[in-house]
Amino acid sequence: MSFRFPVMTLLFFSPAAVIQSVAPDVASIDRDRILEAAEQWMKESPVTITAYRALRSAGGRNEFYSEGDYWWPNPAHPDSPYVQRDGMTNPGIFVKHREAMVRFSKAVSTLAAAFRVTGDENYARRAIAHLTAWFVNDSTKMVPHLKYGQAIKGRVTGRGIGIIDTIHLIEVARAVEVLSDARSFEERDLQGVKQWFADYLNWMTTHPYGLDERETKNNHATWWVAQVAAFARLTENHELQDFACDRFKSVLIPGQMSKDGGFHHELGRTKPYNYSIFNLEGMVLICQMLSTDKDNLWRFELPDGRGVRKAVEFLHPYLNDKSQWPYPRDVMYFEFYPARHPFLLFAGIAYQEHKYINLWKNLGPDPSNAEVQRNFPIRQPVLWVK
Residue span of the structural domain in which 124 resides = 6-383
Q: Residue 304: which region, alpha, beta or left (left: phi > 0; alpha: psi -120 to 50)?
A: alpha
Q: How confident is the model at residue 21 (pLDDT cuts 50, 70, 90)?
A: low
Q: Is residue 274 part of a domain?
A: yes
> C-alpha angle with apex 199: 249 to 207, nearest 5 degrees?
65
Q: Is residue 361 part of a domain?
A: yes
Alpha-carbon distances of 348 from 8, 71, 111, 362, 381, rounded to whole Å: 12, 38, 26, 14, 13
CATH number, position 229: 1.50.10.100
* pLDDT tens column, 121-134: 999 999 999 999 99
For residues 316 and 355, the answer to whether their CB atoms sit within 8 Å is: yes
Give yes or no for residue 16 having a pLDDT over 80: no
Determine the Cα–Cα distance for residues 128 and 114; give it in Å rounded to an integer: 13
Mean pLDDT of 43-52: 98
Number of structural domains (the chain) is 1
CA neighbor of 322 nearest in space, from 282, 369, 284, 359: 359
DSSP string, 25-86: -HHHHHHHHHHHHHHHHTTPPP--GGGS--TT-SS-TTS-EEE-TTEE-BTTBTTSPPEE-T
**What's this model's pTM, rounded to 2 decimal places?**
0.92
Q: What was the pLDDT predicted at 118?
A: 98
Cβ neighbours of 207 (radius 10 Å)? 16
Q: How confident is the model at residue 93 (pLDDT cuts 50, 70, 90)?
A: confident
* pLDDT tens column, 238-282: 999 999 999 999 999 999 999 999 999 999 999 999 999 999 999
Q: Is residue 16 part of a domain?
A: yes
Q: Is residue 241 part of a domain?
A: yes
Q: Is residue 266 part of a domain?
A: yes
Alpha-carbon distances of 94 from 67, 71, 164, rounded to whole Å: 6, 12, 16
Q: Is residue 286 part of a domain?
A: yes
Percentage of the chain modeled with pLDDT above 90: 85
Name the least confident of 14-23, 200-209, 322-331, 353-362.
Answer: 14-23
Q: Is residue 1 part of a domain?
A: no
Mean pLDDT of 51-58: 95
Mean pLDDT of 108-129: 98
Q: How confident is the model at residue 72 (pLDDT cuts 50, 70, 90)?
A: confident
